[in-house]
Amino acid sequence: MSPPINVLLINGPNLNLLGTREPHIYGCETLQNVVDNAEKIAKEQGAVFAAFQSNHEGAIVDRIHQGKKDGVDGIVINPGTFMCWRLVLCPRAHLHNRSLYAHLRRNSRCSLGC
């Protein structure tokens, strides 16, 4: 029998406020609900599951690096506000000029390189 797959769920900035910040826009489900549901699905599939949330870019990058050392097979990430402003989490998305930056501001970066 093969070893179980090791999955890491990462949630970025402001996602700790789910369910409490403008619930009329974002809904009432909390981050803990999301994590609990993901963990339940992972366990049903026989996967090892861990979750991490931070409002700090460096902490998220550090956790990704640690995941490699820990033998994580896959990472599911909801980058939160990094989706709008950060490129560091998607290393193949390079900034070459202002027009590209303007385009990236209007579009998801993570689909470009992750």
Nearest to 108 by CA among 12, 35, 21: 12
Burial (CB < 10 A; 0-12, 13-18, 19+), residue 19, is: middle
Mean per-residue pLDDT, 101-114: 50
Percent of the chain with pLDDT over 70: 71
Tens digits of residue pLDDT in 32-49 = 999 999 999 999 999 999
Structure tokens at 14: 């402001």
- pLDDT-derived band at 56 (thresholds 50, 70, 90) equals very high
Domains of the chain in start order, with CATH, are 1-80 (3.40.50.9100), 83-114 (no CATH)
